């Protein structure tokens, strides 16, 4: 697997196809962009995130060159933030998410100078949280009732991984 920069013209259709329903969309982006996902809305979101936080969007490619995941990374001083992590639903449960996270964390640590990488995940997104934990992330706090969806209240879990605490860090 490798990460490369997201190219809207060739990658958007894959990303859009990975979102199967309004709930999954809300779990992925906290409704930061409208549902159903449109190219224009997604482009605006990515442009805004890049301008405000320096986000860089990436596609994860399988060994065969197929797009299998998406995420954004930003670094501010010594801290990186992962956002909008998404894996092709037909590839979930195969370790792709963990491998993609390992590559992104490695890039943040080794190429972007981060000493810590953070992310947030809704408590209702148990599969994603389990994936993050398997990739080495630890919960640092929880914001109760941070998001409402269809009568549900979702807690937001903040997670992190520190370079100095990852034994023998290697990408």
Domains of the chain by residue range: 2-165
Q: Which CATH architecture has domain 2-165?
A: 3-Layer(aba) Sandwich (3.40)
Rounded-to-integer distance, Cα 139 and Cα 159, Å: 4
Angle ∠(135,138,144) on CA atoms, nearest 5: 125
Residue range 17-75, pLDDT digits in tens: 999 999 999 999 999 999 999 999 999 999 999 999 999 999 999 999 999 999 999 99
Over 70: is that where the pLDDT of 168 sits? no
For residue 159, list its beta bridge partners. Answer: 119, 139
- Rounded to an integer, what distance in angstroms lies between the CA atom of residue 33 and that of residue 48? 11
User: Is the model's pLDDT at 167 over the cut of 80?
Assistant: no
By the 10 Å C-beta count (0-12 exposed, 13-18 middle, 19+ buried), 162 is classed as middle
Which helix H or strand E contains 69, and what residues bound it? strand 67-76
**165-171: average pLDDT:** 61
> What is the pTM (predicted TM-score) of this model?
0.95
Give the pLDDT confidence of 67-116 residue by residue, as tens digits: 999 999 999 999 999 999 999 999 999 999 999 999 999 999 999 999 99
Q: Which of these, 139, 138, 155, lies nearest to 147 by C-alpha position?
A: 155
């Amino acid at each position: 697997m490798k990460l490369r920069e997201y190219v809207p013209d060739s990658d958007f259709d894959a990303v859009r196809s990975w979102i199967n329903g309004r709930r999954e969309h809300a779990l992925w982006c906290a409704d930061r962009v409208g549902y159903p996902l449109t190219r224009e809305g997604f482009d605006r979101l990515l442009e805004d995130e890049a301008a405000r936080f320096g986000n860089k969007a990436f596609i994860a490619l399988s060994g065969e060159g197929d797009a299998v995941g998406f995420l954004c990374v930003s670094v501010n001083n010594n801290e990186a933030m992962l956002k909008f992590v998404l894996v092709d639903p037909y590839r979930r449960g195969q370790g792709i998410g963990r491998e993609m996270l390992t590559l992104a964390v490695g890039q943040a640590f080794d190429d972007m100078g981060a000493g810590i990488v953070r992310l947030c995940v809704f408590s209702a997104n148990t599969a994603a949280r389990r994936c993050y934990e398997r990739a080495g992330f630890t919960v640092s706090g929880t914001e109760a009732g941070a998001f409402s969806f269809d009568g549900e209240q979702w807690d937001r879990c903040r997670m992190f991984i520190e370079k100095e605490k990852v034994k023998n860090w290697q990408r």
